[in-house]
Structure formats: structure tokens, C-alpha cells
Structure 1
Amino acid sequence: MEARFYKEEHHIFRKAFRDFVHKEIKPYAEKWDDEKKIPREIWYKMGKQGYLCPWLDEKYGGSGVGFEYSVIIHEELCRSENTGVLGMGVHSDIIVPYIDHHGDQRQKEKYLPGCANGEIITSIVMSEPGAGSDLAAIRTKAIRDGNDYIVNGQKVFITNGISCDLAIVAVKTDPKADPPYKGISILLIEDGTPGFSKGRSLEKTGTHSQDTGELFFEDCRVPQENLLGEEGEGFRYLMYNLQQERLALTIDAQATAEYALEKTIEYCKTRNVFGRCVSEFQHNTFKIVEMATEVEILKVSMAKWWIPEMANRLAYHCTQLHGGYGCMKEYYVARVPGDLRSLAIAGGATEVMKVVIGRMMGL
């Protein structure tokens, strides 16, 4: 169900972008999944049409529009039947805001136009082996050496990690800080910087075309001018931006669940069993109604844990209603469970979100 606050200009934008997705992305959904990558060309096409970072100020190549346009883009990308393209949404609405919010004028002028036109792909580089949810425990160090930082460490589970041109990297500039989170800073590290290398593109259960990689830093020399914001403020910046990340991931889960339900209803209305449509059996009718109800329920303050879990429950029932075809890759719904799984983990796993909410409730 489309939100009531959308106006005529939003509907026009949605139609234009849906047509773009139908022409430029959807026909290649399975091919890109099989190849395990999103072609660079689609980034350029998205940028040329103004679909990357539309919220950015016009002087940096954006359109200066409200976040509702980003919501529309996320919703329509979720209808492309290739959730790997959501890496473009991660770039636009999760990563680039770090530069816009905390970068200095030089950094904004250098990087933001390329982020908007598709010439620069970004990645946010936080997780490490042994340090995922506990960000303060990261071990990648950036030690001052004159006007530079010398970076050493390893990162893992990095969205857009292999394809990125610019990595926004969480590092420890003060390993002895107490509490530890006060020693975290963020550096902008360009692809090709000596000492910065990319490892494996990790095999996942879903979102196969979205590269998720390992990154390595070995005596990587980064100019001090590439410090984002202030030294020691990285944890605060990350926590601030995580709220928008969680919102974007929630939108993705909601939209993917809604589209999976649409496809399931369409299938159940046309598939005959024992001389009747699958949708005409009372149990199946009830199940579809229950799923439709879940899709429409939003509790904003607790959405990040509840909606991805709802989407995963819905994906299970959608595949069940497809019978044996629910295990066949040629059916979009069969790919949904694997694609959705990461949304219940990224940006704060379900259990972590419950801990956060519990603390907010004074528990």
C-alpha cells in the first residue's frame, strides 16, 4: 500500500524510475546474480538519470529533493528481482551521507559529484573478524606519522567492498583510549592507495550480485587531510548515521516482503490444485490475509528488528504456497529467503536492536 503523503510529483517520479528498472535492471536480474556482480555501467546510468544521491545539494550534482524520493528508489529497486542492486541504495543513502554530514569543503567538492554521477562507488568499512556489533572492539589502527596516518588492519563483510573507489574506514587512532570508543576515527581511503588491497568477494546465501568483500591495510599511508571530521569522533558519527542506515534497511525489508506477497498472490490466483485456485482454499486465503496484515503494520521506533523478521517469516510462507516451485531458482520468490536474511543482521542484528530498545525502556 502506497503511503498517503505522496503527491503527484512523487507518482511521476515513481513511474519514471519503475520504467527505468523494468528496462535496465529487471531483464538482467538472474544474469547478474549468476555472474555475482553488478555491471559498472548501471551505476553510470543511474547517476546520469539522477537516481543516485537525489537528496544531495545541486551544487554537488544532486537534485536537492527530500528523502521520500530515496524511499521510492529503494522500494522500486526491491521490485527489480535482484536485491544486489540495493548496494546502490546503500551507497546513496547510507554511505555518502557521512561525507555530506561530516566532511570539510575540500572533501565534499572532491568526492560528492562523483558519488552522484556514478563515477565513485563508496563502501562503509567497519566490521572486522571478531568485531561486528561491538564496534568499539575494532583493531585496525591508524598511527600518526608526520602529516599522514599509517593504517594496518583487516576488515570483513564490507558491502561494495570489491567495487568501491572510496572506502570510509573506521580506525583506532588512539588504541589506549578509555573508554575504547573514544579512540575511533574515520578515514577516507581511495582505491589504489599503496597498502590498501581487496581480498575475496564473499559467497553469501543471497544477494549474490552485491559484492561483499574483505579489505586489507598494510602500512597504508593516508594523508591527514583525509580524516573525516575530527579525530576521536568516529564512533559518534557512526552511531548518528546508523539511524538512517537502519531506516533504509527497514524500507528494503518492507518493500521486498510486499513485492514477494504480490507475486505470491498472483501465483495463487492462477495455480490450480484439485480443480480450484490455490488462493480459494480457506487456509491459504487466511495465510495471505495474515501476511498482508503484517506487511502493513509499522512500528517506527522498533521497526528495525520487527520488519526484517516479519519479512523473513513472510518469505517462508510465500515459498510454501509455491509448493515445489518455491525451491526453483527461476521463481523470484525462491530467491527471497536468502536475499532477506542479511537485512535482519546488517545495521544491527535483531538481538542487538532488542538490547538497544530494552535500554531505551529502562530494562
Structure 2
Amino acid sequence: MSMPTTPATLDRFITPAHQALWAATDDFATQEILPRVDRMESAPQRVNRSIARSLAGRGWFGVTVPEAFGGMQAGHVAKTILIHRLARVSGAAAAILQAGLIPVTALDYYGTEDQRTTLMPGVADGSVLMSIAVTEPDQGGHIGGMHSAAEWDGSAWVLTGIKAHVGNSHIANLHVVIARTAPPGTRTSKALTAFLVRANQRGVDVMRHTGKLGLRGFSFGQISFDRVRVLPENVLGEVGQGFDVAQSSSILCGRPNLSAVSLGLHETAVSLTGQYVSNRPRYNGKLADLSVIRERLGRMSARLITARILTYHAVDMLDRGLSCDAELIAAKSLGHDLASRTGNDAMELHAANGLDADYPLQRVWRDMQTTYAPAGTGEVQRRRLAENLLEEEAGTKARTPYSVLHSRPHAAPVTDQTVSI
């Protein structure tokens, strides 16, 4: 296995162990994921289950799981490398991994010792694949408008509702479900509770998978819960703490994960376009000889460098235990915006060929569209950044998702960057 040359801009974030993981992921993506891409693209109505098994076989769903439970305990930079390098080859494969890692964060930080001891080894060896179900069909990411509810009947919580856009909805065997448990009028921050629900429980129904614009092979569909009984020992965190579970997991895991997906797709769009214009005849030379084309390539390259630095800077801060809500939000929001602009430039430079299924760019462009809404749209992200700025100017210190999560007893920055590949 040859060791790749990682970009010099990442030298301050990348250790030799990270470089080895980078190489292993590239080899895996080329040998095991790339051959499946065409099949996934040709069957948008089908869920790919084999990729999750392959990722589980490498132990990569356990990249952030403590070693005490059989995980890699490799940190967020390592996790970002996995998602980023997979996304270069397949946005769907990267999405399968990143979606499975978000609820792992929730379990690690909010789970009881019994829950962690029982479930974390299965996460590490791939036998427990998790999802997190927050979004609803009519409310989207507006957590405060959630309709799903759970009522206490004296011995168990009875959960009813519908969740939408659940990553790995059709292949996960354990769902973290956020539902309302307080009466109307209760503040959202105290009104919700997180529950651990097995996919095979009575009343859990995964609705038929339908193809989406992008990420073909990845399921992010609807799950209905019809009077599902959840015992008290399967409450994740405390009753009334569901908002914190959802928010902190989204900020500290979902947003950097999506930044990594955007980054991998962004990188591929730049690479494909460079190859295309370098080989496309025009006049007495190639398209790349034209100054107007080089000017656009230059802008695409600058955007990619910016997105790469911001993404890895944010997760490095997270690994070092530094407060980084704003950096994570900016990495997700700006990372998508920069990739989207590059994707549009790439499509225009490919002209009509960009629309042709024989050219992989149209797949990359479609996959890019899927990273905008999850974990907060661009408008939501910019509003959060503005709030952070105004609080700093006013000299106030808000209760942030970072501070909430890192007040948990299991919280600790990653100091040992040993990565097992």
C-alpha cells in the first residue's frame, strides 16, 4: 500500500497515523467502493446494504468509540479522513458512514454505563448500526415544532410519530428517536426526550425506499412509530434532555461529517474538470489553454483549498477539546456553498457533456445538493454564526452545544492519535 502525499495545507493536523489511515481509505474506496458505484446509480430505488457491511468489517463505525469497548478511539480528524476520502469516490458510501456515526456520539456522551457497555462493543464490531431520527415530514429540522410524542403509561413510554430523512433508515438496527414528553407550553429545551428503539420492535415500520436526487444506494427515508413501548432503561440521557442530545450530536458530529462529504465531492469535481479541460480539443489546442478557462479553474482551486483548511481546522479543534461551535458551523455552511459553486462551474465547463450519465460529474453534482439541508440549512447556520458574534460583542457567554456535550462525564479531548487500520 503506497503512502499518499497529503496536502501540505493539512500538515499541522495530520500525523503519520492519519496518513496511514488516509492511504488505507483510498485503497478501500478504489478497490471495494468504486466497482459498486455504477450499480447504485443504475438502481435508484434500491438500498445498498453491502457497503455498510464492508465499512463495519473495517471497524470504521467505531472510529470514535473508546478502546475500552473495542473501538478505534481515533478522534474527529481520523473520522473526517474516512468520510472525506470515501466521498471522493462515492458520496453515498460516505453518507452511510457519516450517518451511522452521529448517533454513536449521542450514545457515547449520554448513555448510561450499562447502555454503553451493552451497545458500544456492537457498534465497534459493526453488529449494531445506529441511526438518529429527529426530522419530521411537516416540520423539517424545526425541533420545537415536533409532533412525535411519548406518553408514560405507568411501566413504559409509548412512542408514536413519523420521522423523515433518517440516515440509514433501512439498514440501521437501533434508532435514537427524539420525541416530545412534556405537555404543551413546556420550553423545547425541556420538552423532548431521546429513546433507544430497536428496528425490530413491534410498531416500528420503515416506509418503502424511494430514489432521491442524489446519494443513490443510501437510504434516508421515513420511519413510523405506532405505540412503540420503550422501557425506562432505554431512555438515552435524562427525561427532558432530548433537545440537548439532538443539538449537540448535530453540531459536534453531524456538521463536521457533512463538511467532510462536501469536501470529498468538491475535490472530485475539481479533479474531473481539470482532466476534462486538459483533454478537450479546442481550436489549435485544448480547452485548458484558454485564459478564461484557467481563470475559472483558479477560482475552483482556491475554493477547494479554503474548504479543506476550514474543515480540518474545525475538527482538529474538536479533538483538542477547544470550544469550536462557530468553526464547525462555518465549515459545514461554507463548505457546502464553496462546493456548490465549484460544482456549478464544473457543470458549465463540461457544457452538455455534464448532463450525460457517461460523465461522472453529473453524479457528483447531484450528490452535492444533499449536503445543504441536514444539520441545519445555510440560513440556520448563518443565523447561529450571527448570534455567536453578537454574544461575543456583548460579552455574554451562551450555553452552546459544545459546552453542553463537554460537560458530560464521558467527555474528554482526544490526545492519543494512534490509529489502527
Query: How does the TM-score come out when normalised to structure 1?
Result: 0.94
1:92 positional shift: 4.4
- Counterpart position of 2:335: 307
- The whole-number CA distance in structure 2 between the counterparts of 1:57 and 1:127 is 28
Q: Secondary structure at the match of 1:361?
A: helix
1:64 positional shift: 2.0
- Counterpart position of 2:369: 341
- Counterpart position of 1:206: 214
1:240 positional shift: 1.5
1:354 aligns with 2:382: yes
Q: Which residue identity is paired with 2:297?
A: I
Q: Secondary structure at the match of 1:213?
A: strand
- Counterpart position of 2:231: 223
Q: CA RMSD in A?
A: 1.8
1:323 positional shift: 2.1
Q: Which residue identity is paired with 2:212?
A: K
Within the candidate set 58, 62, 69, 2:67 is matched to: 58
- Counterpart position of 1:182: 190
Per-residue deviation, residues 301-321 of structure 1 (Å, max 9, x unmatched): 322222201111111111111
- Counterpart position of 1:4: 11
Per-residue deviation, residues 12-51 of structure 1 (Å, max 9, x unmatched): 2211221111111111112123234454333233222222
Q: Where does structure 1 lack aligned partners over 5 or more consecutive residues?
A: none
1:61 positional shift: 2.2
Higher relative contact order (CA 8 A, sep 6+): 2
User: Does the 8 Å CA contact 2:95/2:261 hold for their aligned counterparts?
Assistant: no
The 10-residue stretch of structure 1 (247-256 or 82-91) with the greater mean CA deviation from structure 2: 82-91
1:194 aligns with 2:194: no
Per-residue deviation, residues 57-98 of structure 1 (Å, max 9, x unmatched): 123221222322111101111121x21112332244322111
The 10-residue stretch of structure 1 (189-198 or 333-342) with the greater mean CA deviation from structure 2: 333-342
Query: How does the TM-score come out when normalised to structure 2?
Result: 0.82
- The whole-number CA distance in structure 2 between the counterparts of 1:294 and 1:24 is 29
The 10-residue stretch of structure 1 (164-173 or 129-138) with the greater mean CA deviation from structure 2: 129-138
- The whole-number CA distance in structure 1 between the counterparts of 2:104 and 2:358 is 34
1:128 aligns with 2:136: yes
- Counterpart position of 1:249: 258
Q: Where does structure 2 lack aligned partners over 5 or more consecutive residues?
A: 1-6, 315-326, 392-421
User: Does the 8 Å CA contact 1:188/1:226 hold for their aligned counterparts?
Assistant: yes
- The whole-number CA distance in structure 1 between the counterparts of 2:259 and 2:376 is 11
1:176 positional shift: 2.6
- The whole-number CA distance in structure 1 between the counterparts of 2:101 and 2:199 is 21
- Counterpart position of 1:321: 349
Q: Secondary structure at the match of 1:356?
A: helix
Give the paired residue count: 362
- Counterpart position of 1:79: 88
1:223 positional shift: 1.2
Matches within 5 A, 1:15-164: 15-36=23-44, 37=46, 39-80=48-89, 82-164=90-172
- Counterpart position of 2:299: 290
Per-residue deviation, residues 105-157 of structure 1 (Å, max 9, x unmatched): 22112222222222222111011122223101101111011221111111111
